[in-house]
Amino acid sequence: MKLKLGVIGCGKKSSQYIDTWSQRTDIDIVCVCDPSEGALQHVKAILSAHGRKEVHAYQDWQTLLSEQGSTLDAVYICTPHAVHANQALAALELNLDVLLEKPMVTTVDEAKALQSAQQASGKQLVVAYQGGLSPLVHQLKEDIATKRYGDLMSINAAIWEDWADTYTGHWKQVPEISGGGFMFDTGAHMMNTTSMLCSQPFASVSAKMNNHNFPVDIVTTVIGELADGMLFSMHACGKSIRCTSRIECFFTDYVVRVCAWGRWIEIEDRDGNIERKEQESANNLMNVFLQTKDGNIQNPSDIEQGLHMAKLWDAIKLSASKSGAPVAC
Protein backbone atom coordinates (compact mmCIF):
# COMPACT_ATOMS: atom_id res chain seq x y z
CA MET A 1 0.00 0.00 0.00
CA LYS A 2 1.41 3.38 -1.03
CA LEU A 3 2.09 6.12 1.48
CA LYS A 4 0.09 9.21 0.54
CA LEU A 5 2.53 11.99 1.34
CA GLY A 6 2.26 15.76 1.45
CA VAL A 7 5.40 17.91 1.36
CA ILE A 8 5.53 21.28 3.11
CA GLY A 9 8.61 23.21 2.01
CA CYS A 10 10.28 22.59 -1.35
CA GLY A 11 13.76 24.03 -0.94
CA LYS A 12 17.10 22.42 -1.76
CA LYS A 13 17.01 19.55 0.75
CA SER A 14 13.35 18.78 0.15
CA SER A 15 13.74 18.73 -3.63
CA GLN A 16 16.64 16.27 -3.27
CA TYR A 17 14.44 13.93 -1.24
CA ILE A 18 11.53 14.35 -3.65
CA ASP A 19 13.85 13.31 -6.47
CA THR A 20 14.75 10.13 -4.54
CA TRP A 21 11.27 9.33 -3.23
CA SER A 22 9.53 9.85 -6.57
CA GLN A 23 11.53 6.87 -7.91
CA ARG A 24 9.96 4.57 -5.30
CA THR A 25 6.85 2.50 -5.89
CA ASP A 26 5.65 2.67 -2.28
CA ILE A 27 5.22 6.47 -2.08
CA ASP A 28 2.63 8.70 -3.73
CA ILE A 29 3.48 12.38 -3.38
CA VAL A 30 0.00 13.89 -3.43
CA CYS A 31 0.64 17.57 -2.76
CA VAL A 32 3.46 20.05 -2.24
CA CYS A 33 3.69 23.51 -0.71
CA ASP A 34 6.13 26.40 -0.87
CA PRO A 35 5.64 30.19 -0.94
CA SER A 36 8.02 30.34 -3.91
CA GLU A 37 6.42 29.61 -7.28
CA GLY A 38 9.87 28.82 -8.64
CA ALA A 39 10.40 26.12 -6.01
CA LEU A 40 7.01 24.61 -6.81
CA GLN A 41 7.77 24.50 -10.52
CA HIS A 42 11.13 22.89 -9.78
CA VAL A 43 9.64 19.98 -7.82
CA LYS A 44 6.84 19.60 -10.37
CA ALA A 45 9.51 19.16 -13.04
CA ILE A 46 11.28 16.55 -10.90
CA LEU A 47 8.07 14.58 -10.42
CA SER A 48 7.19 14.84 -14.09
CA ALA A 49 10.65 13.60 -15.09
CA HIS A 50 9.96 10.44 -13.08
CA GLY A 51 6.58 9.92 -14.72
CA ARG A 52 4.55 11.05 -11.72
CA LYS A 53 1.09 12.49 -12.09
CA GLU A 54 0.41 16.20 -11.59
CA VAL A 55 0.41 17.09 -7.90
CA HIS A 56 -1.67 19.63 -6.01
CA ALA A 57 0.54 22.67 -5.40
CA TYR A 58 0.01 25.30 -2.71
CA GLN A 59 1.79 28.43 -1.54
CA ASP A 60 0.14 28.30 1.90
CA TRP A 61 0.62 25.33 4.22
CA GLN A 62 -2.63 25.87 6.13
CA THR A 63 -4.57 25.60 2.87
CA LEU A 64 -2.73 22.41 1.95
CA LEU A 65 -3.64 20.79 5.26
CA SER A 66 -7.22 22.07 5.10
CA GLU A 67 -7.88 20.80 1.57
CA GLN A 68 -5.68 17.69 1.47
CA GLY A 69 -5.32 16.59 5.11
CA SER A 70 -8.11 14.01 4.90
CA THR A 71 -6.51 12.38 1.84
CA LEU A 72 -2.99 12.06 3.32
CA ASP A 73 -1.26 9.52 5.51
CA ALA A 74 1.70 11.71 6.42
CA VAL A 75 3.53 14.97 5.79
CA TYR A 76 7.19 15.79 5.39
CA ILE A 77 7.99 19.26 6.77
CA CYS A 78 11.11 21.03 5.51
CA THR A 79 10.67 24.70 6.40
CA PRO A 80 12.46 27.41 8.44
CA HIS A 81 13.08 26.27 12.01
CA ALA A 82 10.78 28.73 13.75
CA VAL A 83 7.63 27.40 12.03
CA HIS A 84 8.30 23.68 12.58
CA ALA A 85 6.27 23.49 15.78
CA ASN A 86 3.06 25.08 14.45
CA GLN A 87 3.10 23.05 11.25
CA ALA A 88 3.79 19.76 13.02
CA LEU A 89 1.11 20.50 15.63
CA ALA A 90 -1.47 21.14 12.92
CA ALA A 91 -0.55 17.90 11.14
CA LEU A 92 -0.75 15.83 14.32
CA GLU A 93 -4.16 17.34 15.10
CA LEU A 94 -5.32 16.04 11.70
CA ASN A 95 -4.08 12.57 12.73
CA LEU A 96 -1.21 12.57 10.27
CA ASP A 97 2.18 11.00 10.85
CA VAL A 98 4.98 13.55 10.58
CA LEU A 99 8.52 13.41 9.23
CA LEU A 100 9.94 16.70 10.51
CA GLU A 101 13.23 18.28 9.48
CA LYS A 102 15.82 19.14 12.08
CA PRO A 103 16.02 20.85 14.46
CA MET A 104 12.62 19.72 15.74
CA VAL A 105 11.80 23.01 17.48
CA THR A 106 13.49 26.20 18.68
CA THR A 107 12.26 26.14 22.31
CA VAL A 108 11.62 23.66 25.10
CA ASP A 109 7.97 24.84 25.35
CA GLU A 110 7.42 23.98 21.67
CA ALA A 111 8.87 20.52 22.26
CA LYS A 112 6.51 19.92 25.18
CA ALA A 113 3.52 21.07 23.09
CA LEU A 114 4.44 18.60 20.36
CA GLN A 115 4.85 15.89 22.97
CA SER A 116 1.27 16.45 24.19
CA ALA A 117 -0.15 16.56 20.65
CA GLN A 118 1.64 13.36 19.65
CA GLN A 119 0.38 11.52 22.70
CA ALA A 120 -3.19 12.71 22.04
CA SER A 121 -3.11 11.70 18.37
CA GLY A 122 -1.29 8.39 18.75
CA LYS A 123 0.58 9.21 15.55
CA GLN A 124 4.33 9.19 15.00
CA LEU A 125 6.62 12.19 14.73
CA VAL A 126 10.08 11.31 13.44
CA VAL A 127 12.76 14.01 13.41
CA ALA A 128 14.71 13.76 10.17
CA TYR A 129 18.25 13.65 11.53
CA GLN A 130 20.14 11.35 9.19
CA GLY A 131 22.45 10.46 12.07
CA GLY A 132 19.52 9.80 14.36
CA LEU A 133 18.11 7.32 11.85
CA SER A 134 21.41 5.78 10.74
CA PRO A 135 21.91 2.06 11.47
CA LEU A 136 25.63 2.77 11.85
CA VAL A 137 25.01 5.28 14.64
CA HIS A 138 22.54 3.02 16.42
CA GLN A 139 24.95 0.09 16.19
CA LEU A 140 27.68 2.26 17.72
CA LYS A 141 25.27 3.32 20.48
CA GLU A 142 24.65 -0.36 21.23
CA ASP A 143 28.38 -1.11 21.11
CA ILE A 144 28.98 1.64 23.67
CA ALA A 145 26.37 0.14 25.98
CA THR A 146 27.88 -3.37 25.70
CA LYS A 147 31.47 -2.06 25.92
CA ARG A 148 32.43 -3.79 22.69
CA TYR A 149 35.41 -1.46 22.29
CA GLY A 150 36.16 -1.11 25.99
CA ASP A 151 35.13 1.78 28.23
CA LEU A 152 34.15 5.03 26.49
CA MET A 153 36.56 7.63 27.89
CA SER A 154 35.63 10.80 25.95
CA ILE A 155 34.02 12.19 22.80
CA ASN A 156 35.39 14.95 20.58
CA ALA A 157 33.12 16.21 17.80
CA ALA A 158 33.67 18.76 15.05
CA ILE A 159 31.68 20.00 12.06
CA TRP A 160 32.59 22.63 9.49
CA GLU A 161 31.24 24.22 6.31
CA ASP A 162 31.47 27.32 4.11
CA TRP A 163 28.14 28.29 5.69
CA ALA A 164 28.60 31.96 6.58
CA ASP A 165 29.14 33.23 3.04
CA THR A 166 26.93 30.63 1.34
CA TYR A 167 23.89 31.70 3.37
CA THR A 168 24.47 35.44 3.58
CA GLY A 169 21.02 37.07 3.43
CA HIS A 170 19.28 33.71 3.76
CA TRP A 171 16.61 33.02 6.41
CA LYS A 172 19.13 30.76 8.12
CA GLN A 173 20.94 33.91 9.25
CA VAL A 174 17.83 35.67 10.58
CA PRO A 175 17.71 34.79 14.31
CA GLU A 176 13.94 35.22 14.65
CA ILE A 177 13.38 32.59 11.95
CA SER A 178 16.36 30.30 12.38
CA GLY A 179 16.56 30.13 16.15
CA GLY A 180 20.35 30.29 15.96
CA GLY A 181 23.29 30.25 13.60
CA PHE A 182 25.65 27.59 12.28
CA MET A 183 25.62 25.57 15.50
CA PHE A 184 21.82 25.25 15.40
CA ASP A 185 21.66 24.59 11.66
CA THR A 186 24.34 22.26 10.29
CA GLY A 187 25.81 21.91 13.77
CA ALA A 188 22.52 20.46 15.04
CA HIS A 189 23.46 17.21 13.28
CA MET A 190 26.64 17.05 15.35
CA MET A 191 24.84 17.90 18.60
CA ASN A 192 22.13 15.31 17.99
CA THR A 193 24.44 12.43 17.03
CA THR A 194 26.83 13.23 19.88
CA SER A 195 23.99 13.37 22.40
CA MET A 196 22.67 10.01 21.16
CA LEU A 197 26.09 8.39 21.62
CA CYS A 198 26.76 9.78 25.09
CA SER A 199 26.30 7.03 27.62
CA GLN A 200 24.83 9.34 30.30
CA PRO A 201 22.74 12.55 30.39
CA PHE A 202 24.51 15.90 30.11
CA ALA A 203 25.34 17.37 33.52
CA SER A 204 26.86 20.72 32.52
CA VAL A 205 28.23 22.63 29.55
CA SER A 206 30.47 25.61 29.01
CA ALA A 207 30.19 27.36 25.64
CA LYS A 208 31.54 30.32 23.73
CA MET A 209 30.30 31.75 20.43
CA ASN A 210 31.71 34.20 17.88
CA ASN A 211 29.51 35.79 15.22
CA HIS A 212 32.43 37.14 13.15
CA ASN A 213 30.30 40.18 12.21
CA PHE A 214 27.35 38.06 11.05
CA PRO A 215 23.90 38.33 12.71
CA VAL A 216 24.18 34.79 14.11
CA ASP A 217 26.86 32.56 15.59
CA ILE A 218 29.46 31.32 13.10
CA VAL A 219 31.95 29.58 15.41
CA THR A 220 30.92 27.78 18.60
CA THR A 221 32.97 25.72 21.01
CA VAL A 222 31.42 23.61 23.78
CA ILE A 223 33.02 21.55 26.52
CA GLY A 224 30.94 19.57 28.93
CA GLU A 225 30.56 16.80 31.43
CA LEU A 226 28.13 13.90 31.58
CA ALA A 227 26.37 12.70 34.72
CA ASP A 228 29.01 9.99 35.17
CA GLY A 229 31.89 12.46 34.86
CA MET A 230 32.90 11.69 31.28
CA LEU A 231 34.11 14.75 29.38
CA PHE A 232 33.12 15.71 25.83
CA SER A 233 33.71 18.59 23.43
CA MET A 234 31.98 19.95 20.32
CA HIS A 235 33.26 22.52 17.84
CA ALA A 236 31.36 24.09 14.94
CA CYS A 237 33.07 26.34 12.37
CA GLY A 238 30.76 27.88 9.79
CA LYS A 239 33.42 29.73 7.81
CA SER A 240 35.63 27.02 6.38
CA ILE A 241 35.72 24.54 3.49
CA ARG A 242 33.09 22.08 2.21
CA CYS A 243 30.62 20.62 4.68
CA THR A 244 32.28 17.83 6.66
CA SER A 245 32.12 16.39 10.17
CA ARG A 246 33.90 13.93 12.42
CA ILE A 247 32.80 12.61 15.79
CA GLU A 248 35.59 10.71 17.54
CA CYS A 249 34.79 8.29 20.34
CA PHE A 250 37.85 7.42 22.41
CA PHE A 251 37.63 3.96 23.99
CA THR A 252 40.22 2.14 26.06
CA ASP A 253 40.84 -0.34 23.22
CA TYR A 254 39.73 1.50 20.04
CA VAL A 255 39.06 4.88 18.49
CA VAL A 256 35.79 4.98 16.53
CA ARG A 257 34.97 7.83 14.17
CA VAL A 258 31.55 8.52 12.67
CA CYS A 259 30.19 11.44 10.66
CA ALA A 260 27.34 13.51 12.08
CA TRP A 261 24.96 12.16 9.43
CA GLY A 262 25.85 8.52 10.07
CA ARG A 263 26.95 7.99 6.47
CA TRP A 264 30.22 6.30 7.44
CA ILE A 265 32.04 4.86 10.42
CA GLU A 266 35.71 4.02 10.94
CA ILE A 267 36.93 1.63 13.64
CA GLU A 268 40.65 1.85 14.47
CA ASP A 269 42.35 -0.73 16.69
CA ARG A 270 45.58 -0.50 18.69
CA ASP A 271 47.66 -1.55 15.69
CA GLY A 272 46.27 1.21 13.49
CA ASN A 273 44.09 -1.11 11.40
CA ILE A 274 40.97 0.74 10.20
CA GLU A 275 37.67 -0.85 9.20
CA ARG A 276 35.31 1.49 7.32
CA LYS A 277 31.59 1.03 6.66
CA GLU A 278 29.24 3.30 4.69
CA GLN A 279 25.47 3.89 4.65
CA GLU A 280 23.24 5.52 2.01
CA SER A 281 21.00 8.09 3.70
CA ALA A 282 18.20 9.41 1.45
CA ASN A 283 16.22 6.17 1.15
CA ASN A 284 17.21 5.12 4.67
CA LEU A 285 15.42 8.20 6.04
CA MET A 286 12.15 7.19 4.39
CA ASN A 287 12.61 3.49 5.13
CA VAL A 288 12.96 4.17 8.85
CA PHE A 289 10.00 6.56 8.81
CA LEU A 290 7.78 3.94 7.15
CA GLN A 291 8.87 1.21 9.56
CA THR A 292 8.21 3.52 12.50
CA LYS A 293 4.83 4.61 11.12
CA ASP A 294 3.76 1.00 10.63
CA GLY A 295 4.84 0.04 14.14
CA ASN A 296 7.57 -2.34 12.99
CA ILE A 297 10.32 -0.56 14.93
CA GLN A 298 10.50 1.82 17.86
CA ASN A 299 10.90 5.47 16.85
CA PRO A 300 14.69 6.03 16.77
CA SER A 301 14.46 9.84 16.50
CA ASP A 302 11.46 10.85 18.56
CA ILE A 303 10.10 13.87 20.42
CA GLU A 304 11.94 12.87 23.60
CA GLN A 305 15.24 13.20 21.75
CA GLY A 306 14.02 16.51 20.28
CA LEU A 307 13.24 17.77 23.78
CA HIS A 308 16.69 16.63 24.95
CA MET A 309 18.23 18.62 22.10
CA ALA A 310 16.17 21.73 22.93
CA LYS A 311 17.41 21.63 26.52
CA LEU A 312 21.01 21.22 25.37
CA TRP A 313 20.73 24.16 22.97
CA ASP A 314 19.22 26.35 25.71
CA ALA A 315 22.13 25.49 28.02
CA ILE A 316 24.70 26.27 25.30
CA LYS A 317 23.13 29.66 24.57
CA LEU A 318 22.90 30.52 28.26
CA SER A 319 26.53 29.62 28.89
CA ALA A 320 27.67 31.63 25.84
CA SER A 321 25.70 34.64 27.11
CA LYS A 322 27.67 34.35 30.37
CA SER A 323 31.08 34.32 28.66
CA GLY A 324 31.40 30.54 28.93
CA ALA A 325 30.37 30.12 32.55
CA PRO A 326 29.34 26.48 33.22
CA VAL A 327 25.58 25.88 33.06
CA ALA A 328 23.73 22.90 34.44
CA CYS A 329 21.68 20.97 31.88
Q: What is the DSSP string of 158-194?
A: EEE-SHHHHTTTSGGG-HHHHSSSGGGTTHHHHHHHH
Same structural domain for residues 161 and 257? yes
Same structural domain for residues 117 and 219? no
Question: Where residue 30 sits, what CATH number does that domain have?
Answer: 3.40.50.720
**CA–CA dist 253, 140 (Å, integer):** 14
Same structural domain for residues 166 and 246? yes
Instruction: Confirm whether 294 is domain-assigned.
Output: no
Instruction: Confirm whether 93 is domain-assigned.
Output: yes
Mark which of 67, 97, 130 sits at the end of a domain: 130
Instruction: Confirm whether 277 is domain-assigned.
Output: no
- CB contact set of 166 (below 8 Å; sequence gap of 6+): none
Same structural domain for residues 219 and 189? yes
Instruction: Confirm whether 259 is domain-assigned.
Output: yes
Instruction: Confirm whether 102 is domain-assigned.
Output: yes
Domain that holds residue 15: 3-130
User: Count of domains in the chain?
Assistant: 2
Mark which of 130, 146, 175 sits at the end of a domain: 130
Same structural domain for residues 149 and 10? no
pTM listed for this prediction: 0.93
Mark which of 130, 149, 183 sits at the end of a domain: 130
Same structural domain for residues 178 and 255? yes
Same structural domain for residues 104 and 219? no
Long-range CB contacts (within 8 A, 24+) of 82-85? 82/106, 82/176, 82/177, 82/178, 82/179, 84/110, 85/110, 85/111, 85/113, 85/114
Per-residue pLDDT of the chain (329 residues; tens, 9 = 90+): 899 999 999 999 999 999 999 999 999 999 999 999 999 999 999 999 999 988 999 999 999 999 999 999 999 999 999 999 999 999 999 999 999 999 999 999 999 999 999 999 999 999 999 999 999 999 999 999 999 999 999 999 999 999 999 999 999 999 999 999 999 999 999 999 999 999 789 999 999 999 999 999 999 999 999 999 999 999 999 999 999 999 999 999 999 999 999 999 999 999 999 999 998 776 889 999 999 999 999 999 999 999 999 999 999 999 999 999 999 98
Position 284 scores a pLDDT of 85
Count of other CB atoms within 10 angstroms of residue 132: 27
Same structural domain for residues 178 and 306? yes
Same structural domain for residues 159 and 244? yes
For 19-66, the DSSP string reads HHHTT-SSEEEEEEE-S-HHHHHHHHHHHHHTTPPPPEEES-HHHHHH
Task: State whether the Cα torsion 174-176-178-181 is positive or negative.
Answer: positive
Same structural domain for residues 18 and 39? yes
Instruction: Confirm whether 8 is domain-assigned.
Output: yes
Same structural domain for residues 51 and 146? no
Question: Where residue 138 sits, what CATH number does that domain have?
Answer: 3.30.360.10
Position 81 scores a pLDDT of 97
Same structural domain for residues 202 and 219? yes
Instruction: Confirm whether 229 is domain-assigned.
Output: yes
